[in-house]
Amino acid sequence: MRKFFPQSTYARNVITLMTGTAFAQALPIAVSPILTRLYTPEDFGVFAMYMAITSIVSVLVTGRYELAILLPRQDRDAFHIAMLSAGLSVAISAFLLLVVTCFNQSLAELLGVPGLAVWLYWVPASTLLSGIYQSLNYWSTRKSQYKRLAISRTVQSGSAALAQLGSGYAGSGTLGLMSGQIAGQVLSTSVLVGLIWRDDKNLIRAFHPLRSLALAKKYVDFPRFMIFGHMANTASSQMPIFLLSLFFGPGPVGLFSLSQKVLAAPMSLLAAAIGDVFRSESVKEYRANSNCLTIFRKTVSKLIIIGVVTNAPILFLGKDIFSFVFGNEWREAGEVASILSVMVLFQTVASPLGQLVFLANLQKFDFIWQLVRFIISVLSFLCGYWLFGDYKVAIMFYAFSFCALYAYHFYYQYKVAAGHYVISRG
């Protein structure tokens, strides 16, 4: 039977993580047609606004130090960076709770959704759990503990989906979507903490806060150049949510968010798993050969196949697929998904390889690219609204401008993989 299984470490790692992620994604995808009949587009729209805010703020809480976990040669230093990242998540999330307590109504009105005020109290809890999880996720990637990651992702997606399903049958509306999300984060983070405590007790006992502070100074370029750049990156991804809500209300936001969720499933299921393994293996190959073109080309070929196979049906049959699977109320979401599918193809290839640019100390380039990405996101959406007054045209401008941006980023990824830049050796 062994000859039927991949022999290379890289392929086995990809399949391990991909199999776990497949289980993690299978249940949410399976229950989505039920959720769309239990919750309205407006419910999904408010939930999308909450998730957009959480996604942007979550970039801030770790200081982006989790991205440096892969770089040190010694596991002891890498673990101290992971603890630094998790500690920052606790401190900054506590500060966010204070801000929300004092200004929640003002913040909701500033966002153009006064009814969102009561839900903003949940944001610090989500950012805390997200920051800790991401820190431990990168530590597990460094240690090639892909089974550990697969288990935690299965717990997160599965528990969130089941909680949202149960709350939907109880008629809880938006509250059911948000409480399910939090439940999934709590359980998955707890599982990952437990597995790391079991496997890495010696490093935990050797932890010294002063060492983390010294490493924070050594890798200060990550927060210096990457916080605002990646906040701009996340904000540009979430900007359609904010602008759709501001100009057209929560209904179109719900349609857009469902289309994003469906298109993102292959990214989460396949491309993200490949990218997680690529991050670790590319550094090893580069240190051995002064380039990582072999693994780069192998990864790109897989990502192109995934992108074409998963996006082509949505491009040509999006409206019919969404109407059949999710109900006729969501037919317009299929039209939105058709527009976005071309952009997602480019994203599927470029995003999992993005780690290369900051492994090569190109944080300044990444910062500029993310800032340009944010500006183009805003301009394309505003032009669509001002010139045509149609949210679908605005989404079209957004999608095709991002195709060009992902292509440009891929060009730099290739240059790093070919050895034109020196990857940090930690």
Following DSSP, what letter does each residue of 368-388 receive, concatenated? HHHHHHHHHHHHHHHHHHHHH
Round to whole Å and give the CA distance between 102 and 120. Answer: 11
pLDDT, one tens digit per residue, over 280-315 is 788 788 878 888 888 899 989 989 998 999 999 999
pLDDT above 70: percentage of residues in the chain: 91
Q: How confident is the model at residue 105 (pLDDT cuts 50, 70, 90)?
A: confident
Residue 342 CA: distances (Å) to CA of 336, 350, 399: 11, 13, 7
The amino acid at residue 137 is: N
Name the more confident of 172 and 8: 172
Structure tokens at 353: 């390889």
Identify the CA nearest to 142 among candidates 54, 77, 235.
Answer: 77
| Helix ranges, 62-145 (H) | 75-110, 123-142
pLDDT, one tens digit per residue, over 141-199 is 888 787 888 888 888 888 898 899 999 988 888 889 999 999 999 999 999 999 899 88
Round the average pLDDT of the chain to a whole number and report it.
Answer: 85
Length of the chain: 426
Span of 98-107, 229-238, 288-297, 390-399 with lowest mean pLDDT: 229-238
Structure tokens at 217: 């100074």
Round to whole Å and give the CA distance between 96 and 159. Answer: 26
Q: What pTM, to 2 d.p., does this model score?
A: 0.73
Burial zone of 43 (CB within 10 Å; 0-12 exposed, 13-18 middle, 19+ buried): buried
pLDDT, one tens digit per residue, over 228-278 is 777 877 777 788 888 888 887 778 888 898 898 888 877 766 676 777 778
